[in-house]
Chains A and B, each alone.
Chain A
Amino acid sequence: MNILEVEEITSGYGSMDVLFGVSAEIEEEGLVAIIGPNGAGKSTLLKAVVGAVQAKKGRITFKDQEITNWPIEKIVKSGLSWVPQDDHIFPTLSVAENLDVGAYSYQGNYESRVERVWSFFPQLKDRMDQTAGDLSGGQQQMVAVGRGLMSEPDLLLLDEPTAGLAPNLIQMMYKKIEEINESGVTVLLVAQSLETFRASKRGYLLSSGEIKYSGTTGELLGNEEVQDLYFGG
């Protein structure tokens, strides 16, 4: 059963469209990766899902409920969490406070949720009182993902959680994301590469605002045209 269905979405900024009739879907407890060249509209797709940009056409259904162009707060409360690529933390707040704000809309069993974040990212627990803006790039990414988990989402949208990280950290972050997924959270992420994922995961190739290919990550990796588009772009 699909937890999220995106149908024929057209969206963009001002009068400039970035997405042209994009459709995608994600199964419950699945992990779907979106890849594509710079400027393909990957971030915009996630923003349109979460309501951070307006969808001009098309519809978005989350847990059998149409959420197209709901206010962002309402979408988040319905069980969806979004970790943007840039500006993904509260820089003057401490690590623990970042997580607190992540739990703003739902306060129940707070302790266990914090413990869950610490279990994924033990380094953060030692730095819980540090100002988030002072942490390294990798640690900030962990804070960002941790904040996204604090609302106990059914679906987690991650926008390039590995941007700007060193290769060993990228490996680590993808491993964590798979762990998060295996713990029962559906994950839709914009990824830099597919190699790190098991071949059975689903992937989309987005280019110039349109879905060019979809299939398992194994199929995408084996497709020469995809390779051209992806690495050529």
Chain B
Amino acid sequence: MISYISSYLVMASIYGIMALGLNFQWGFSGLMNFGIGASYMLGAYTAALLSAAPTPEHLGGFGVPFPVDLIGAALIPAFIAFLIGFPALRLKGGPFAIATLAIHETIYLIVHNEMWLTNGVWGIRDITRPLYANIPQRYDTFFLVIAGGFLIFFYFFFKKLVRTPWGRVVRGVKGDEDMALMSGKHAWSYKMQSFVLGSAVAGVAGGLYVHYTGFVSPTTFTPLMATFIVWLMVMVGGSGNNKGVLVGAFLVWGVWTGSEFLTDFFPPFMETRAGFMRMFLMGIILLIVILIRPQGIFGKERILPRYLRSIRENYTPSTQEGGKTNNR
């Protein structure tokens, strides 16, 4: 039972890290990244290939030790995001989202098809699980310390980051792109930085995942499990609210794992459809959140200091439709 709870907490922490990365891109910079799972996948495979022992089955076997290979797991997705960002960040909204989705599909195809690189559908086995030999019985609990540690680190990292001058500009980029442009800030460049940073963080989550499970294969990275569920976590918790997103991650992952229990009670003839019921449930949760509580459970985080907050609340933007300037 303890192991079950620990395992749940580890996975929720890993997803929580990804959700923080996505929240930075979407909640703070307004980037609709439907390819967050691609960064997760890239991070996972980078860590797997860097740390695995030499083998003829696939590329890699560099034997890079555990925490060091996570640097690679962050850098590769960041670099790919940087390359993709050049054309894709010219797009806005839906078209940007489809471009990121296409990146996911393309990387998925490569991982799935290129046996020499990733061993294809067979996946990569025997990825080092740090200190597994010493504590095989309590491994989930041990890894919880690692994953939880990273989660706490990233939480405070983003919490501080959005309050720095740089973070304020990134947030401004979302609110009103033209305003940020007019004040001489290069919106495109800040979006790129946000896109790259969020992707790197998702990559670290991927790296942690492979070291936890010791195995990776393409089937982990379906649009549902790698991307949509992360979006659900952000939406449930509240876009732009780091604390909310953390709660969202633990809540959504709880519902997801809990729904597995429920489907155990299904009669055998329904078993094959149980997985789809869980998928259905995830979709319905998003629709319900959007219809009933679009701001998420926690709503948007107040980042402004209290005295600025009162000014903003009493201030009516003059850029609203109509207004004096348009009303000749």
A touches B (Cβ under 8 A): yes
Which A residues form the contact surface with B (CB < 8 A)? 12-16, 18, 38-44, 47, 53, 85-86, 160, 163
B137 within 8 A of A: no
- Asked if residues B327 and A18 are in contact (CB atoms below 8 Å), the reply is yes
Determine which of A14, A38, A40, A163 lies in contact with B316 in the assembled complex, contact meaning CB atoms within 8 Å: A14
Docked-complex contact B327 and A44, CB < 8 angstroms: yes
Select B320's contact among A13, A42, A47, A163, beta carbons within 8 Å.
A13
- Could you give 6 example pairs across A and B, Cβ below 8 Å? A15-B316, A16-B316, A16-B320, A18-B327, A43-B328, A47-B322
User: Do A39 and B320 touch across chains, with their CB atoms under 8 A apart?
Assistant: no
Question: How far is it, in angstroms, between the C-alpha of A160 and the C-alpha of B326 when the chains are bound?
Answer: 13
Known: A18-B327, A163-B328. 5 other contacts (CB 8 A): A13-B320, A38-B327, A39-B325, A44-B327, A47-B322
Asked whether, in the complex, the Cβ of A38 is within 8 Å of the Cβ of B322, the reply is no
The answer to whether residues A38 and B328 also contact, given A14-B316, A15-B316, A16-B316 and a CB cut-off of 8 A, is yes
Chain B's interface: helix, strand, loop or mixed, by majority? Answer: loop
Of all chain B residues, the one with the shortest Cβ separation from A14 is: B320
Q: Is the CB of B328 within 8 A of A42?
A: yes
Contact A53 B322 (CB under 8 A): yes
Asked if B316 contacts A43 (CB within 8 A), the reply is no
- Contacts A14-B316, A15-B316, A16-B316 known; A43 to B323 CB distance under 8 Å? no
Q: Indicate if B176 sits at the interface (CB-CB under 8 A).
A: no
Cβ contact within 8 Å between A42 and B316: no
A44 contacts B322, C-beta separation under 8 Å: yes
Question: A192 to nearest B CB, angstroms?
Answer: 10
Residues of B within 8 A of A40 (CB): 327
A185 to B320, CA, bound (A): 34
Q: Top 5 A-B pairs ranked by shortest CB distance?
A: A13-B322, A39-B324, A38-B328, A43-B327, A14-B320
State the Cβ distance, A206 to closest chain B Cβ, in Å.
Answer: 11
B264 at the interface (CB under 8 A from A): no
Cβ distance A232 to chain B, nearest Cβ, rounded Å: 16
Chain B residues whose C-beta falls within 8 Å of the C-beta of A12 in the assembled complex: 322
Q: For the complex, what is the distance from the CA of A18 to the CA of B326, rounded to whole Å?
A: 12
Which residues of chain B (299-322) have a CB below 8 Å from chain A?
Answer: 316, 318, 320-322
Alpha-carbon separation in the docked complex, A16 to B317 (Å): 9
Pick from B316, B323, B324, B326 the residue with the most CB of A within 10 Å.
B324
Bound: A18/B318 CA distance, A: 12
Cβ–Cβ contact A41 & B327, under 8 A: yes
Complex contacts, B321 vs chain A, CB 8 Å? 13
B65 vs chain A, min Cβ distance (A):
58
Across the two chains, which residue of chain B brings its CB closest to A37? B328
**How far, in whole Å, are A53 and B325 apart by their CA atoms in the complex?**
16
B241: min CB distance to chain A, Å: 25
Using CB atoms, name the residue of chain B closest to A45: B327
Q: A15-B316, A16-B316 are in contact. Are A86 and B326 (CB under 8 A)?
A: yes
Q: For B320, what are the chain A residues with a Cβ–Cβ distance below 8 Å?
A: 13-14, 16
Residue on B with the closest CB to A160? Answer: B328
